[in-house]
Amino acid sequence: MTTQRRTSPNASRRSDASRRAILAAAFDLVGEVGYAKLSIEGIAARAGVGKQTIYRWWPSKGAVLFDAFLMLGEGADGEAALPDTGDLESDLKAVLRATVAELNDPRYDEPMRALSTEIAHDPELAAAYLERLDRPMRELKKHRLRAAQRAGHLAEDLDLDVAVDMLWGPLLNRWLQRTGPLTPEYADNVVETALNGLRPRR
Amino acid sequence: MTTQRRTSPNASRRSDASRRAILAAAFDLVGEVGYAKLSIEGIAARAGVGKQTIYRWWPSKGAVLFDAFLMLGEGADGEAALPDTGDLESDLKAVLRATVAELNDPRYDEPMRALSTEIAHDPELAAAYLERLDRPMRELKKHRLRAAQRAGHLAEDLDLDVAVDMLWGPLLNRWLQRTGPLTPEYADNVVETALNGLRPRR
């Protein structure tokens, strides 16, 4: 992503490096100490910057952490669209298996739990999350489902938001509430069951 | 529920009343102040008992809160089985609409968020929750689904755990992460979509 800046190229590169160091430090620290013990002081120390540098750009630790998650999203920008090989079932299995791998990755597990539980208790953060992270991701998912619907692979009257919830909701819920093992086989099973439905097909 | 006690009937009635007062106080307080600020002192003051009375029965505030949730479950003991009118779709809609009503009830919303987020961060509490609350509830749900499967209303090879996750997961996830309005219509839509599946039925 390119942005217009009025500062000199060198200053701009320096602030960009500081910004990234701060966000990476926030992400790593929340995974180590949890959200409650995350502090601007701690982030500044880990990133090797002064507290004032952080306060110049962000009003609170929540705002820093949130931007850290947005940075992760930016990094994956090129690959953000869902695969479309024409085979919906195998594409969805690939995507849900990747979600399982990410949720099981110790590097992401704690920070994502911290963000999820902050959202659960903070309606304002939830609204920002919805607007800036959940909705753009959801649009990418619905884009792939809409293509499948046009091709006649999904029911004509299907509510695509419910379809997204039915594919990703079970995984997220099982991960967050620890109600069972989150495996690639479980992801496959969810995809097959969602596509076919619970009722017999004759 | 009846239990064998070795104390005199009067003493037993008194401790039972204290126990219920403590659990009700814990449940109400966590809804008001959140889990982080919940304390044994606060629960004791609200219940009108001494701190030592609480420590005699429970090792921690988490243990008290957990039993408060179990008490709620006991209260609904008689109605815990899922309805079985022979019409699976309408029975599931009734149950999921009741779940929506409970999740939207301000009396339950905060305590359940507190329990959910503690579970997300505490694998030991999650294991206790799984064993004592999630699994018994899940068995009741699977019991109803198994009857429908025997009657030929559900696919023969259906994994009933995945079916439960697919019906309740989207509701729980939407509630906890606040990703959309949790309405009776949404519950109906989830039931219909899960039963029919995302693929067209011809």
Q: Which amino acid is at A163?
A: A
Percent of chain B with pLDDT over 70: 92
Cα–Cα distance between A109 and A31 in angstroms, integer? 8
Q: What is the pLDDT of residue A1?
A: 42
Q: What is the pLDDT of residue B66?
A: 84
B155–A201 CB contact, under 8 Å: yes
Q: Does A169 touch chain B (CB under 8 A)?
A: yes
- If you average pLDDT over residues B159-175, what whole number do you get? 96
Alpha carbon separation from A105 to A110, A173, B80, B150, B156 (Å, rounded)? 9, 16, 37, 40, 35
Q: Does A116 touch chain B (CB under 8 A)?
A: yes
pLDDT in tens, A102-124: 999 988 888 888 888 888 888 88
* Closest approach of A78 to chain B, Cα-based (Å): 25
| Minimal-distance CA residue of chain A relative to B117 | A117
Closest CA to B22 of B52, B37, B44: B44
Which range, A36-45, A87-96, B17-26, B133-142, is most confident? A87-96
Which residues from B are below 8 Å from A191, CB to CB?
none
Closest CA to A176 of B174, B32, B190, B187: B174
**Letter string b/e over residues A6-19, b meaning 16 or more CB atoms within 10 A of that residue's CB:** eeeeeeeeeeeebb
Q: Which DSSP string do the residues of A19-79 spell out, in sequence order?
A: HHHHHHHHHHHHHHH-TTT--HHHHHHHHTS-HHHHHHH-SSHHHHHHHHHHHHHHHTGGG
Name the residue facing B165 among A156, A161, A170 (closest C-beta).
A170
Helix axes A160-177, A135-150, angle to 10 degrees: 130
| Average model confidence (pLDDT) across chain B | 88
pLDDT in tens, A55-103: 999 988 888 988 888 887 665 544 568 999 999 999 999 999 999 999 9
| Minimal-distance CA residue of chain A relative to B197 | A197
Main-chain dihedrals φ then ψ at residue B86, nearest 5 degrees:
95, -20
Residues in contact with A162: Cβ distance below 8 Å, sequence separation at least 6, in sequence order: B170, B186, B189, B190, B193
Q: What is the pLDDT of residue A181?
A: 94
Q: Does A142 touch chain B (CB under 8 A)?
A: no
Q: What is the pLDDT of residue A123?
A: 84
pLDDT in tens, A145-164: 999 999 999 999 999 999 99
Closest CA to A193 of B72, B41, B157, B29: B157
Q: Return the half-sphere exposure (C-beta side, CA atoms, 13 A cut-off) of residue B111.
A: 23
Main-chain dihedrals φ then ψ at residue A201, nearest 5 degrees:
-105, 130
- If you average pLDDT over residues B127-155, what whole number do you get? 93
Spatial contact of A48 and A17, defined as CB atoms under 8 Å apart: no
Cα–Cα distance between B27 and B148 in angstroms, integer? 36
Spatial contact of A125 and A66, defined as CB atoms under 8 Å apart: yes
pLDDT in tens, A18-63: 999 999 999 999 888 887 788 999 999 999 999 999 999 998 888 8
Is B159 in a helix, a strand, or coil? Answer: coil
Q: What is the pLDDT of residue A7?
A: 56
Q: Return the half-sphere exposure (C-beta side, CA atoms, 13 A cut-off) of residue A85.
A: 9
pLDDT in tens, B90-107: 999 999 999 999 999 988
Please name the residue ranges forming H helices in chain B.
9-33, 40-47, 51-57, 61-75, 88-104, 106-121, 123-129, 135-150, 160-177, 184-196
Q: Which amino acid is at A43?
A: I
Q: Return the higher-pLDDT residue of B19 and A81.
A: B19
**Letter string b/e over residues B74-88, b meaning 16 or more CB atoms within 10 A of that residue's CB:** eeeeeeeebeeeeeb
Q: Does A178 touch chain B (CB under 8 A)?
A: yes
- Residue B57: both structure tokens together: 């029965």
Query: Could you tell me the domains of chain A?
Result: 9-66 (1.10.10.60), 81-196 (1.10.357.10)
Spatial contact of A198 and B155, defined as CB atoms under 8 Å apart: yes
